[in-house]
C-alpha cells in the first residue's frame, strides 16, 4: 500500500513537471510569436488589389507579400506605411512594415494610381 502511494505520488510529480514544461514552452512560443512578423498576402490582377482590403494584427512587424499577376510592373506604395516597392510583371515582392497602431492604412500602385487598397490593423 505504501509503495503504491509513493508510486501515485511520483506519477503525480511527473505529471506536474510535464505540465510545467508544456506551460514554459507555451510561454516561449508566445514571446517568439510577438517578435516574429505577421504575414499577409495580396495579389494584383487587372490593376486591382485582390483582396482590396487586408487585415493584420497591431503592434507586430508585418510582411506584406505582393504577387503581381499583371503584364506590367507595379510599385506597391503607401504614404502612411512609409513603404515603396517595385514588383515586376509576373513577380513577387515582400514589403516589410514596422509595428503599427490600430487603424486604416491606404496603399496604392504608384505606377497605376487608380489601383488602391486598404490595410486594416486591429
Q: Which residues lie near Cu ion (CB under 5 A)? A: 75, 77, 84, 110
Alpha-carbon distance of 33 to 35, in angstroms, equals 5
| Cis peptide bond prior to 69, omega within 30° of 0 | no
Task: Report in angstroms the alpha-carbon separations of 19 from 13, 26, 46.
Answer: 10, 10, 53
Q: Which is nearer to Cu ion, 37 or 86 (CB)?
A: 86
Q: Which is nearer to Cu ion, 33 or 84 (CB)?
A: 84
Closest distance to Cu ion from the beta carbon of 45 (Å): 20
Closest distance to Cu ion from the beta carbon of 84 (Å): 5
Closest distance to Cu ion from the beta carbon of 86 (Å): 8
Amino acid at each position: 500500500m505504501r509503495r503504491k502511494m509513493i508510486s501515485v505520488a511520483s506519477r503525480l510529480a511527473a505529471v506536474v513537471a510535464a505540465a510545467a514544461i508544456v506551460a514554459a514552452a507555451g510561454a516561449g512560443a508566445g514571446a517568439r510569436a510577438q517578435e516574429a512578423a505577421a504575414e499577409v498576402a495580396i495579389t494584383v490582377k487587372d490593376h486591382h488589389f485582390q483582396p482590396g482590403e487586408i487585415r493584420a494584427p497591431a503592434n507586430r512587424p508585418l510582411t506584406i507579400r505582393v504577387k503581381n499577376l499583371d503584364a506590367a510592373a507595379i510599385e506597391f506604395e503607401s504614404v502612411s506605411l512609409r513603404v515603396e516597392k517595385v514588383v515586376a510583371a509576373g513577380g513577387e515582392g515582400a514589403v516589410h512594415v514596422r509595428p503599427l497602431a490600430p487603424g486604416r492604412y491606404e496603399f496604392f500602385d504608384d505606377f497605376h494610381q487608380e489601383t488602391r487598397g486598404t490595410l486594416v490593423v486591429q
